[in-house]
Structure 1
């Protein structure tokens, strides 16, 4: 269950990272509110997952999911560039997340 909670926390991590773009420097009220709510949920779920997962693994996976999700949504929503180097690098992050999952006792 901790891995599922950690994954959801990573999705909220992505949500608040992308939300920062929509706040336009925290000058827009509702995007700012939703970004802050996503931040709180993300950290709360990370804390719950850390009750049974090692600190280093949980934090690295949380950040990794957030990074991958942010890159993907940046490409989809903001037409950020897609090239081999970016996609390969994201693939390395995904490989690291998978590696940590299998190297960590559940």
Structure 2
């Protein structure tokens, strides 16, 4: 489910970037509201994905899909230029995203005692020894 949340977050990231371009410096109300809503949606779904994904993997995939999606749709919607170097960069980004997904899948297939456990906050500390504090 985390990867689905991450995909949804990435779609919001693309909408955020494209809508930001249409705000004309946040002087247009409609695109400005869409930009804010898309940013909030993207962060919300990213946070859901990061409940189980490593932050490095999740954030890299989120920005990678967002970057490629923004450039591809930017060429279609805003008639932005594209060349061979950009295509090569997209292929490398997509390869990296797929590699991270593969690495996550392979790690999930490890034996349960070998699988790294995600951290859900700072490490817990043992309770203080009350007898030692009283002395």
Instruction: Give the TM-score normalised by structure 2.
Output: 0.76
The CA deviation at 1:39 is: 0.3
1:8-87 to structure 2, matched below 5 A, reads 8-87=8-87
- CA distance in 2: counterparts of 1:53 and 1:42, whole angstroms: 16
Q: Which string of whole-angstrom CA distances, capped at 9 and with x for unpartnered residues, describes residues 21-73 of structure 1?
A: 01000000011001100000000000000000001000000000100011001
**DSSP-derived class of the 1:8 partner:** helix
- CA distance in 2: counterparts of 1:8 and 1:96, whole angstroms: 19
State the match for 2:7 in structure 1. 7
| Structural RMSD (CA) | 0.8
Gaps of 5+ in 1: none
The CA deviation at 1:5 is: 0.7
Q: Which has the larger radius of gyration?
A: 2
Relative CO higher for 1 or 2, CA cutoff 8 Å, sep ≥ 6?
1
Q: Which string of whole-angstrom CA distances, capped at 9 and with x for unpartnered residues, describes residues 74-100 of structure 1?
A: 111111112111111111101110000
Instruction: Give the TM-score normalised by structure 1.
Output: 0.97
* Runs of 4+ with deviation above 3 angstroms: none
